[in-house]
Amino acid sequence: MKAVYPGSFDPLSNGHLDIIKRAAKLFDELHVLVSTNIFKKYVFTTEERIEMIKLACKDIPNVVVDASDDLVVNYCKDKHIGVIVRGMRNYSDYETEFSLFQYNRDINPKIETILLMPTTKNQVVSSSSIKELVKFNCDISKYLPKEILDVVLNKLK
């Protein structure tokens, strides 16, 4: 069975990687999809985000990295994917995920959504916080996969 884990991944965090590793154990093939959120302004290009994910996931053989400007449910239909994996850190994430689930279900009721909670050490990790910490010269090494730390620091400094 195939699943997709969509996100902006600007940049990929250890929280994202935690969800990827755990979801990859549940599915035969996991598509990590760099998707577009029209309300976000990105620091990293789509190509840079794809490359960071590929670097961090190089040892996970069933991960496919892709990008799309379309709705995730349309990507699922095109790629014959039946499950959307989402990470949920807190109550505000719940509100967002609940709305997304309802819209996705209305558009394509054949596609299921599953929510994975982060491990304790990743509950507060967010891409926007990482970018803010870099701005104030804080150590972000515990929040990012080691394979992409230099890439992120070089871009954000």
Annotated catalytic sites, by residue?
A: 16, 40, 89, 127
Pairing mode, strands 2-7 and 83-87: parallel
CA-CA-CA-CA torsion sign (27, 78, 108, 99): positive
Cα 34 to Cα 47: distance, rounded to the nearest angstrom: 9
Q: What angle do CA 28, 20, 1 make, to 5 degrees?
A: 20
Look at the block and give the residue holding tokens 């070089």.
154
CB 34 within 8 A of CB 53: yes
Residues 6+ apart with CB under 8 A from 25: none
